[in-house]
Structure 1
Amino acid sequence: MLESFIAATLLAAVHLCAGGLRSLDRLPRSRWLSAAGGVAVAYVFVHLLPDLARGQQVMDGIDIALLSYLEHHAYLLALLGLVVFYGLERMIKQHRQNKPAHHPSHPAMFWLHIGAFGAYNGLIGYLLVHGESEDSTDLALYCVAMGLHFLVNDFALQDAHKDLFSRRGRWLLALMPVAGWAIGSVTEVSELAVSALAAFLGGSIILNVLKEELPEERNSRLGPFLLGSIGYAALLLSVQG
């Protein structure tokens, strides 16, 4: 339990420290942010998606009236996570499309965006306790991947909401991994619920990484992204093997 609490506080510290790393916020995209995105994607495809297969076995063994006619519950939940955050990002982009670059976001749109990412961070913190991190090594690999992912998200949200994010949003996002860990430490959930949460998280991470790497205006760095993804995938496979 102590190790997972330390991991939660380290994840919180990423948001608190990201404000001092503004030199990474430039175009063309910083190679460090591209590499960080590659690490997060590697973690999803090498660790979380195989967990979806195990989660699917759990769901297959449980009769859920609402979902009994669906064949791939876990993968549909991953798709749902991707679609939810895709819809959110489209809404935010349309909101800002006709506004000057430094114009503040409307408070309702800001809190919707930050609230969604706050819940996202809380889920990541929650899975520190109830996820698939069976030992200290697994926990460390999860923490590193999610910490780098938080860094990428922090820069994206700072770009979207400017000073409003610096003054309010960053603090909420820093709080949520610890809050998620606290909830996880005092609650017990079924294996089915953990599998469902992990599936939703996997799809969400894929979208939130790729939306930062794919747009042409980001001028992203393919080399660092490949290095981060291939290098971290190799590390994960060596540990698992």
Structure 2
Amino acid sequence: MINKRRDFVIVLSLLFAVSFAIIHFSTKYMVFIKRAPRSRFLSFAGGIAVSYVFIHLLPDLNTHQQVLEKADNGVLQFVENHAYLMALFGLAFFYGLENMVSRETKKKQSHAGSGIFWIHIGTFFFYNMLIGYLLIQEEFDHMMGMFFYFLALSVHFVTVDQSMRETHQYVYDQYGRWALTVAVLVGWLIGAFTKLEEALISTMFAFLSGALMLNVLKEELPKESDSSFSSFAVGLIIYSILLLIA
């Protein structure tokens, strides 16, 4: 029974990983999504992502903190036993990255230069790899937990893609979206064939949580004039109800 359930989890996670990749590849063709003026879909997606962060991600981070407190990792024990510190590091790291990209873009009055582009894409390649890896290695309480993970990050990927396209223009479509599409599948493959220690997985989850919080707040909560609060509220309320009753 355990083996059958494990096989089902692997197959389901693979389907979700492939779906992630398809979403990254196809957002270019989603003509109904606009950042300026901001489409109602992006505001609705923002509500879903924010709900996921506060109702699901933060409680999970506390669970991983408990895992790390029980771990005995020698010299690294102090750092690894602080999931919230790792989350803070993830948030600060991505904030610094976005700040650097923004400054470079303003200097050039167009898309960021090639060096900044590859730094940006390389960082989000790792970000997507973590998402793909945790898709199969994270211990979800039930199958619906994996589905909620997939749903929240799917709409998040759409907003990230739109932001990347706005920042890097045609270069992103030519190279970036391919890299981010492959990254999720690479992460899933690593997770399918390797098994890291539970403490290290918790550390990775904490780092990803902080990065996700920053990216959600940056991408899904734009200026009031650019967004639809009603669409945002509908997405937040519906997804919050789903998380609470699941």
Q: How far 1:65 moved relative to its partner?
A: 4.1
Give the percent of matched residue pairs that are identical in Structure 1 and Structure 2.
42
Q: How far 1:60 moved relative to its partner?
A: 1.1
Letter aligned with residue 98 of structure 1? K
Q: Residue in 1 aligned with 2:165?
A: 158
> Of 174, 178, 185, which residue of structure 1 is paired with 2:181?
174
> Of 212, 217, 237, which residue of structure 2 is paired with 1:230?
237
> Of 27, 33, 36, which residue of structure 1 is paired with 2:36?
27
Q: Please, which moves more after superposition, 139-148 or 178-187?
A: 139-148
Secondary structure of 1:121's aligned partner: helix
CA 1:213/1:135 → structure 2, altered by over 3 Å: closer, same or farther?
A: closer
Q: Residue in 2 aligned with 1:78?
A: 87
The alignment yields a C-alpha RMSD, in angstroms, of 1.9
Superimposed CA distance per residue, residues 33-84 of structure 1 (whole angstroms, 9 cap, x where no aligned partner):
1211221221122122111111111111123444555697011111111111
> Of 105, 110, 122, which residue of structure 1 is paired with 2:117?
110
Q: How far 1:212 moved relative to its partner?
A: 2.0
- Report the TM-score, using the length of structure 2 for normalisation: 0.90
Q: Residue in 2 aligned with 1:198?
A: 205
Letter aligned with residue 107 of structure 2? N
Q: Please, which moves more after superposition, 169-178 or 127-136?
A: 127-136
- Structure 2, gaps ≥5 residues long: 1-9
Contact 1:40–1:148 at 8 Å: present in 2 too?
A: yes
Secondary structure of 2:108's aligned partner: coil
Q: Residue in 1 aligned with 2:65?
A: 56
Contact 2:129–2:187 at 8 Å: present in 1 too?
A: yes
> Of 41, 53, 77, which residue of structure 1 is paired with 2:50?
41
- Report the TM-score, using the length of structure 1 for normalisation: 0.92
**Map of 1:203-218 to 2, 5 A cutoff?**
203-216=210-223
Secondary structure of 2:107's aligned partner: coil
Distance 2:61 2:117 in 1: 32
Letter aligned with residue 93 of structure 2? V
Contact 2:24–2:161 at 8 Å: present in 1 too?
A: yes
CA 1:217/1:238 → structure 2, altered by over 3 Å: closer, same or farther?
A: closer
CA 1:136/1:173 → structure 2, altered by over 3 Å: closer, same or farther?
A: same
Contact 1:27–1:218 at 8 Å: present in 2 too?
A: no
Contact 2:49–2:220 at 8 Å: present in 1 too?
A: no
Secondary structure of 1:63's aligned partner: coil
Letter aligned with residue 173 of structure 2? S
Letter aligned with residue 69 of structure 2? D
Secondary structure of 1:19's aligned partner: helix
Distance 1:127 1:108 in 2: 29
- Structure 1, gaps ≥5 residues long: none
Contact 1:29–1:218 at 8 Å: present in 2 too?
A: no
